[in-house]
């Protein structure tokens, strides 16, 4: 988070205070990142609103530029501008999708999470970050090198946010239910499964000083447990990873990050493995 030099802030053309801008200002106040404000609209002119916002931010000491743009769709416009401006983070307010519409059409925010080459912070609430709880959700059951790097990034970003907001960091990893028929005896008992998961967490616990009281290893599906623990802890931000699944399987299954998006009562920071971000950047720059 500290390495982010430029933040793309998607502004809703509304008289109400932008929740996305509120979060971006908090991050920029600590990281000194540049703010690039974007309104996605092809029909109405919002130059007056952008001028007012820019003047206020400059007065507060922020580095800021503004833009109004549109290219085919909301998510494509955001990604085009993110690439053009070299922004290391996209901040956007999330609005609940109609369940029927979501069943028929892939929501724009899902498309943004899948295709954006940078981390995305979806703001859902005006709840203060300061002094609250930050929840980092990982899956230590996937222990291949790519997932280990992603887990480290998720905990690292959670640690950074907790530091800048003077908040507490908690970590959750869901584990499967025991199966007597499992080939590996470890997965036949709940106690041995939990012990293996806790062992897998010891390295980042030591690195980020996370004690056992702030580590939650729970049995059950991640898409149920993550919102449950986030609500129990009254988390302000949930940091989660996605494999950026696309295509037919993505439309049918969805990633955990997408599935929990509407059920979480916190802001959501979504990260991807570096390899996937590099691949998405290649796709965007090649125009495919």
SS3 214: helix
**What pLDDT, on a 0 to 100 scale, did the predictor assign at position 201?**
86
pLDDT tens readout for residues 49-82: 999 999 999 999 999 999 999 998 999 999 999 9
Taking the chain (288 residues) in runs of 10, the rounded mean pLDDT of each run is 87 87 93 96 94 96 97 94 95 80 72 90 93 92 77 90 93 81 68 85 86 92 93 96 56 65 92 69 64
Question: What kind and span of H or E run contains 278?
Answer: helix 274-286
Common-topology check for domains 6-93 and 133-281 = yes
6-93 architecture in CATH?
A: 3-Layer(aba) Sandwich (3.40)
- How is 97-117 classified by DSSP, letter by letter? PPHHHHHHS--HHHHHHHH-S
pLDDT tens readout for residues 156-174: 999 999 998 999 999 999 8
- Contact yes or no for 135/218 (Cβ under 8 A): no
CATH number of the domain located at residue range(s) 133-281 in this protein: 3.40.50.12370
Four-residue CA torsion sign, 228, 229, 233, 239: negative
pTM of the model: 0.88
Q: Residue ranges of the alpha helices (H) in the chain?
A: 19-31, 47-59, 74-85, 99-104, 108-115, 145-164, 190-208, 222-233, 247-253, 256-260, 274-286
Pairing outcome for strands 267-271 and 120-123 = antiparallel
List strands edge to edge, sheet with 235-241: 64-69, 34-40, 6-10, 89-93, 120-123, 267-271, 235-241, 133-138, 168-175, 215-219
Domain boundaries, the chain: 6-93, 133-281
Candidates 258, 286, 224; CA nearest to 113 is: 258
Candidates 124, 97, 110, 113; CA nearest to 235 is: 124
Candidates 26, 16, 22; CA nearest to 167 is: 26
The per-residue pLDDT of the chain, averaged, comes to 86
Secondary structure letter of residue 174 according to DSSP: E
- Contact yes or no for 195/178 (Cβ under 8 A): no
**What pLDDT, on a 0 to 100 scale, did the predictor assign at position 14?**
82
């Amino acid at each position: 988070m500290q390495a982010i030099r430029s933040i793309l802030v998607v502004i809703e053309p509304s008289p109400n205070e932008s929740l996305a801008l509120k979060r971006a200002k908090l991050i920029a106040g600590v990281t000194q990142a540049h703010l690039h404000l974007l309104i996605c609209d092809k029909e109405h002119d919002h130059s007056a609103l952008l001028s007012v916002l820019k003047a206020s931010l400059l007065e507060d000491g922020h580095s800021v530029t503004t833009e109004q743009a549109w290219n085919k769709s909301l998510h494509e416009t955001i990604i085009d501008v993110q690439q053009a401006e070299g922004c290391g983070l996209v901040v956007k307010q999330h609005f609940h999708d109609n369940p029927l519409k979501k069943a028929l059409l892939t929501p724009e925010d899902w498309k943004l999470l899948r295709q954006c080459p940078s981390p995305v912070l979806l703001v859902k609430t005006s709840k203060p970050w300061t002094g609250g709880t930050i929840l980092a959700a990982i899956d230590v059951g996937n222990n291949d090198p790519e997932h280990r790097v992603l887990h480290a990034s998720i905990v690292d970003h959670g640690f950074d946010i907790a530091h800048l907001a003077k908040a507490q960091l908690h970590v959750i990893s869901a584990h499967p239910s025991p199966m007597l028929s499992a080939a590996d005896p470890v997965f036949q008992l709940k106690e041995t499964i939990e012990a293996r998961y806790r062992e897998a967490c010891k390295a980042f616990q030591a690195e980020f000083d996370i004690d056992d009281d702030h580590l939650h290893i729970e049995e059950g599906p991640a898409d149920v447990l993550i919102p449950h623990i986030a609500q129990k802890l009254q988390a302000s931000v949930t940091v989660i990873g996605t494999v950026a699944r696309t295509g037919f399987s993505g439309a049918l299954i969805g990633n955990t990050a997408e599935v929990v998006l509407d059920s979480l009562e916190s802001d959501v920071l979504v990260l991807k493995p570096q390899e996937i971000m590099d691949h998405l950047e290649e796709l965007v720059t090649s125009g495919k």
